[in-house]
Amino acid sequence: MTDPQSRTPDPDIFLYDTLQRRKVRFTPSTPGRVGFYLCGPTVYSDAHLGHAKMGVAFDVVRRALTHFGYQVRFVSNVTDVGHLQGDADDGEDKLLARARLEQLEPMEVADKYFWSYFRDMEALNVLKPSITPRATGHIGEQIALIEELIGRGHAYESEGSVYFDVRSWPDYGKLSGRKLDDQSEGTREAVREEKRDPRDFALWKRAEPGHLMRWQSPWGVGFPGWHIECSAMSLKYLGDGFDIHAGGLDLQFPHHEAEIAQAEAAGHAFARYWLHNNMLTIGGEKMSKSKGNFTTVHDLLTQHDPMVVRFLLVSSHYRSITEFSEDAFEAARGGYRRLTEALGELERRLPAAPAGEHTALEARITAHTAAFEDALRDDFNTPKAVAALFNLTTDLNAALGAGAVGRTTLERARASYRTLGGSVLGLFAQGGPAQSQDDTEVVSALMDLVLRARQNYRLQKQYAEADEVRSTLTRVGVTVEDTKDGPRWKR
Ligand SMILES: Nc1ncnc2c1ncn2[C@@H]1O[C@H](COP(=O)(O)OP(=O)(O)OP(=O)(O)O)[C@@H](O)[C@H]1O
Ligand SMILES: [Zn+2]
């Protein structure tokens, strides 16, 4: 990944802010730093390709911001309590329903699907969040925020549950632009009677006897509502007035609308920019668990190269619908192959390449790199960025086809693929040229071994061998320093 320190934060990034309903220039509240919150999964089933669209979309946004010189703290939560079926106030908890079905403890369900989600995302080269807070680990923070709301007169207790008082907060509806219609349809009579207004939503729910997930609170034993966790955890880890809040388009209402109301009514400035990804569809319909028209990431990856799946996802813009079909897959396979073949040819030519530059190709690399970056500065337009990579490939192939290309230029072309295709779009994870997070660990373990081997040579007075280790490392840019605590290395 481009070292964020090596570049001055780019002031010309524009993004589409759902709240303002237009493209705006992005200016973080603290220069050079970005606080980013993404609504993560409710961990009660395996991730499908729709979830992957969301994960990959914001992974690219994060990588692009890093590339443009920002230091990003990326917080993405895991919902393991309070998300009720039908997103209503009186459905069964999605985790509890699953626990019953699989005959597991609710926390076993949460752990099982937590790990499967992150395994899938890792396979797709989605970087791990900087912080992954779980709702059940933040009950205290949620209770504290609810108390603030009650204290300010924006929430009320009723029969051991607490509801947000929508009528007390005229801004409710500002994100989705919804006129506040009656949301009481489908709500049980008993719940309706507990509320002052049918549009009020639960912050805390009384636990009925036998409800497995339950905590003590000032209002009795219960569990938090779904929306409150994200307000509480984003503010905790990113602070008031943090920069970007992201999530699926379907979360705009009621989830994000409620998040804003809860935070602002309690006196906290909330997210300054809102990003929403559009849906992955199949046969024109949203891929979803409830429709049963889904393919899990896990199943998909038994048949397809994860980088082809990722390529398919980045080939459409995050705010566009991505239609999933065999044809789309075929096209992605072909497109991805074109990039990797060009890169492979480049690698093959490098060892025997003559010294020097290829001026015309150098100019094209500069132009395509600029086009790639301009595309991402314009609301993270990945299809345009991919097109710039293809244009680079066309020019590279033409130059290679016409004869020898100087080593300096080939190295520059390779660096462009690695940075733009690898670090920013995340497309070269497996054995490819991009350096993943895990590579750091591998390099560190290998270096320990190498330095131990060198120590052994020295102890056995095999100085020629020890020197050879050192000079080989120097050749690849690693310097070794012998200190009183043993050898140290750096690049
Ligand atoms: N097809 C999709 N395309 C893009 N994002 C999706 C898609 N499906 C789900 N997501 C994102 O993942 C989040 C969590 O999804 P959720 O667990 O509700 O999955 P789902 O398949 O929509 O489930 P259900 O059909 O039971 O509502 C959604 O809020 C949305 O932001
Ligand atoms: Zn959320």
What is the average per-residue pLDDT within 70-75? 98
pLDDT given for residue 186 in this prediction: 54
Q: pTM value? A: 0.86
pLDDT given for residue 485 in this prediction: 67
Domain spanning 4-277 has what CATH number? 3.40.50.620
Q: pLDDT (tens digit, 9 = 90+) per residue, 302-340? A: 989 999 999 999 999 999 999 999 999 999 999 999 999
Q: pLDDT (tens digit, 9 = 90+) per residue, 160-217? A: 999 999 999 999 999 999 876 655 555 666 677 899 999 999 999 999 888 888 999 9
Domain boundaries, the chain: 4-277, 436-491
Q: Which ligand is nearest to the CA of 79?
A: 2
Ligand 1 within 6 A of CB of 293:
no
Tell me, what DSSP letter sits at residue 424?
A: I
How far does residue 182's CA lie from ligand 2's centre (Å)?
A: 23
Which pLDDT band, with edges at 50, 70 and 90, does 221 fall under? very high
What is the average per-residue pLDDT within 331-356? 95
ipTM of the complex: 0.96
How far does residue 37's CA lie from ligand 2's centre (Å)?
A: 9
Look up tokens 């082809």; give the residue: 308
406 within 8 A of 357, measured Cβ to Cβ: yes
* Closest among 314, 237, 307 to 277, alpha carbons compared: 314
What is the average per-residue pLDDT within 281-302? 93
Highest mean pLDDT among 13-17, 187-191, 303-307, 428-432: 13-17
Can you tell me the distance from the alpha carbon of 301 to that of 349, in angstroms, rounded to the nearest whole number? 32
What is the average per-residue pLDDT within 393-415? 96
pLDDT given for residue 437 in this prediction: 39
261 within 8 A of 235, measured Cβ to Cβ: no
Average pLDDT, the chain: 91
**Which residue ranges are tagged as binding site for ATP?**
289
pLDDT given for residue 448 in this prediction: 79
* Gyration radius (Cα) of the chain, Å: 26
Q: Which ligand is nearest to the CA of 289?
A: 1
Ligand 1 within 6 A of CB of 280:
yes
Q: Does the pLDDT at position 54 exceed 70?
A: yes
Which pLDDT band, with edges at 50, 70 and 90, does 432 fall under? very low
Q: Does the pLDDT at position 443 exceed 90?
A: no
How far does residue 52's CA lie from ligand 1's centre (Å)?
A: 10
Look up tokens 């000079």; give the residue: 471
**Which residue ranges are tagged as binding site for Zn(2+)?**
39, 230, 255, 259
Ligand 1 within 6 A of CB of 207:
no
Q: Which ligand is nearest to the CA of 296?
A: 1
Counting ligand 1 atoms within 8 A of each CB, the residue from 120, 124, 286, 317 with the most, and so the one to mutate, is: 286
Q: Which atom of ligand 1 is nearest to the CA of 248?
A: 31
Q: Which strands, in side-by-side order, build the sheet including 222-224? A: 155-158, 161-164, 201-206, 222-224
Ligand 1 within 6 A of CB of 316:
no
Percent of the chain having pLDDT more than 70?
A: 93
Counting ligand 1 atoms within 8 A of each CB, the residue from 18, 37, 51 with the most, and so the one to mutate, is: 51
Q: Give the DSSP letter string of 46-87.
A: --BHHHHHHHHHHHHHHHHHHHTT-EEEEEE-BB-S--BGGG
How far does residue 18's CA lie from ligand 1's centre (Å)?
A: 19
Reduce the DSSP state of residue 158 to 3 states and report it: strand
Q: Helices in 212-296 by DSSP H: which ranges?
A: 226-238, 257-265
Length of the chain: 491
Q: Which of 170-184, 264-278, 352-366 has the lowest mean pLDDT?
A: 170-184
Residue 9 exposed, middle or buried by CB count within 10 Å (0-12, 13-18, 19+): middle
174 phi/psi in degrees, rounded to 5 = -70, -25
Beta bridge partners of 482: 487
The two three-digit tokens of residue 241, written as one number = 């007035």
pLDDT given for residue 140 in this prediction: 97
Q: Does the pLDDT at position 346 exceed 90?
A: yes
405 within 8 A of 358, measured Cβ to Cβ: yes
Q: Does the pLDDT at position 82 exceed 60?
A: yes
What is the average per-residue pLDDT within 29-50? 95
Q: Which ligand is nearest to the CA of 291?
A: 1
Counting ligand 1 atoms within 8 A of each CB, the residue from 48, 250, 253, 312 with the most, and so the one to mutate, is: 250
Which pLDDT band, with edges at 50, 70 and 90, does 67 fall under? very high
Reduce the DSSP state of residue 403 to 3 states and report it: coil
